[in-house]
Structure 1
């Protein structure tokens, strides 16, 4: 999107910069907005739009929202034929495996922002947390998932007092910032992906440590598949840009199964694509599978969420909301003079303590 485009927002910016007579149609900042989840860089002077690579909490005018809605309707009016849609769901693992074979670990940057966004990942460091080293603090609830592992004396990470599980680990762009930060004894990280190629990239990484991490191939959409740890054994589940790749009809089942893995008092951390993000509006006609659900040229799929949809998914699974933000930003390419509208969802949900947590 060029600065000279017909977007109402940028016409307004130019007008302010020239005349400084009227306020912008799109409010750039509001005092009632929550603290910026990735920072507090607020654009108050439109002339400075190219001074930074990202601006926080950019609010859209009614007209801009309407333009985005119309663009999404336009690019989804021609959908992929019904007889072709199933393959993108049934063969999702194949498409993602090809993705990682092609891109290896060069596509995404390490998510070093995780600890600023999700300080819960380090909550084991608070005073008094956990139990004595060497003790297993897992009760064994009766469940189908536990039938396999309970026959064994131990499981990977069984002696840990704090356990994190990343779903959809890809090439390890979250795994290794976490592994490198978790030097404490008693902390263990699990990570899975349904792409064997992705899991192999993680396992062969120079920083992979079996002492602190267990990577495994797993399809969270597969109801009969078991995990290498018991239910109610996890303190944190990290779900970052993965739920959007799953068919919308399968999402609730996935969230329900993940919720079973959390300890009472555990937390699920979520970040994913929001409705009318730039990447949604860029899709061409003929790439839409269903409403707000698209297939990319490489066969991988992506869904774009609203706050209400996110809330319903996790609350229907029995989790309580801690945070549920629609994170709207301006992403700037200063060299090309391009400004892009990004929309992400960021949420935190808590599994209540039995019979006591509100």
Structure 2
């Protein structure tokens, strides 16, 4: 591991879109993806996580070699269909076993994704939403609308609900696991006046959403697109992007290529290039920045941010360091111009 030395946070943030109101500790502008930089390797065990860690060429080569080795033996083709066919069951079993205890609430959401916060009404940024016939009265009366795709047990849902209790926003959240959606609805903080949780398979081309096209300000997808077969992700993004308002933002965070969790797979768990089946039947793909850019821009969105988040995770008790790689991105639906011809639903 080679720490990031002699680079300012300004350099780290270059090329990144930051919201104008985004402030870190004590009101200082926050660096994207954290600001804890390891400058002295002997201090590595002082904290549980270090940000913006560079890899040496040797470390990159070793990771590529490990990925080649664990993908050399694939899941037999006659067994691969079950991971697609029984995906609902595998994820239902996952949430049945772990309930809401597997993941922690994502308190980092608003630091990295301040776009989730509705505009300050003093700025005159509130906009009237388009109403659909199957929307709740609460949603129809909210000018700022968010959709979380793949909400799981609500680890993003409830931090968001807490932030929108003034009624200026409405949150939709969906998962294709009925058990996950039930966990969200049974949570003591679930509030139907602020949130509508529903079961949805976003891979289903004919499925309809409880809101019309061009009605969402923000779509959030955190560690969900990686669970979809790679060949389906493009069509999923295309359908989701149609529901963003012009100027709306798609927020994305997921697994990056050669993350520790990819390198830990054993031979015989690989379904296709960089796509693996876990022991519990759930699946995961590992993205690169170029793939993220291609997928989102092909869906008609404009890149605002596309970062590879390389961190050093530390087990201080066992004196073990682990190299983590995640992707984080923000893409925007272009604003409609006066010459555009749009279809009003």
SS of corresponding position for 1:59: coil
Q: Deviations over 1:219-253 (max 9, x none)?
A: 00000000011111000000000000000010001
1:218 matched to which residue of 2? 200
Cα deviation, residue 61, structure 1: 1.1
Measure how far apart 1:36 and its partner are: 3.7
Q: Is the 8 A contact 1:36 1:57 kept in 2?
A: no
Which stretch shifts more, 320-329 or 118-127?
118-127
Q: Secondary structure at the match of 2:12?
A: coil
Once the two structures are superposed, residues 52-94 of structure 1 have per-residue CA deviations (whole angstroms, 9 ceiling, x without a partner) of 1110110111111111000000000000001111111122111
Secondary structure of 1:251's aligned partner: helix
Mapped to 2, the partners of 1:50 and 1:336 lie a distance apart of: 10
- The question of whether the paired residues in 1 share the 8 Å contact of 2:255 and 2:287 is answered with yes
Within a 5 Å distance, the mapping from 1:280-299 to structure 2 comes to 280-299=262-281
The TM-score with structure 2 as length reference comes to 0.89
Secondary structure class of the residue paired with 1:189: strand
Query: What residue is the counterpart of 1:28 in the other structure?
Result: 4
8 Å contact 2:129–2:144 — kept in the other structure?
A: no
CA contact (8 A) 1:293 1:301 kept: yes
Following the alignment from structure 1 to structure 2, what is the Cα–Cα distance between the partners of residues 356 and 61? 50
* Residues 238, 269 of structure 1: 8 Å contact kept: yes
Match of 2:183 among 201, 217, 229: 201
In structure 2, stretches of 5+ residues that fail to align are 14-29, 340-345
Q: Residue in 2 aligned with 1:232?
A: 214
Contact 2:174 2:181 in 1 (8 A): yes
Q: Which residue of 1 aligns with 2:130?
A: 138
Conserved 8 A contact 1:156-1:229: no
- The question of 1:174 aligning with 2:153 is answered no
**Deviation larger for 99-108 or 115-124:** 115-124
> Aligned partners of 2:212 and 2:258: how far apart in 1?
38
Alpha-carbon distance in 2 for matches of 1:153, 1:104: 29
Kindly indicate whether residue 238 of structure 2 is the aligned counterpart of residue 242 of structure 1.
no
- C-alpha displacement of 1:33: 2.3
1:325 aligns with 2:314: no
Distance 2:148 2:169 in 1: 14
Residue correspondences, number = 319
Contact 2:135–2:211 (CA under 8 A) maintained in structure 1: no
1:133-182 per-position Cα deviation (integer Å, ceiling 9, x unaligned): xxx5317xxxxxxxxx54x5866611110000000000000000110111
| Structure 1 stretches lacking a partner, 5+ long | 1-8, 10-25, 140-148
Contact 1:293–1:304 under 8 Å retained in 2: yes
Matched, 1:111 2:110: no
Residue pairs, 1:267-286, within 5 angstroms: 267-286=249-268
1:191 aligns with 2:173: yes
Match of 2:92 in 1: 97
C-alpha deviation, 1:185, in angstroms: 2.0
Is 2:62 the partner of 1:55? no
SS in 2 for 1:33: helix
Write the distance in 1 (CA, Å) between the matches of 2:35 and 2:113: 16
Does 2:332 align with 1:353?
Answer: no
Aligned partner of 1:146 in structure 2 is none
CA distance in 1, matches of 2:337, 2:178: 40
Distance (Å, rounded) in 2 between the aligned partners of 1:279 and 1:125? 40
- How far apart are the structure 2 equivalents of 1:249 and 1:153? 31
SS at match of 2:75: coil
1:118-129 aligned within 5 A: 118-125=113-120, 127-129=123-125
- Alpha-carbon RMSD: 1.7
Contact residue 216 and residue 248 of structure 2 kept, 8 A: yes
Residues 36, 56 of structure 1: 8 Å contact kept: no
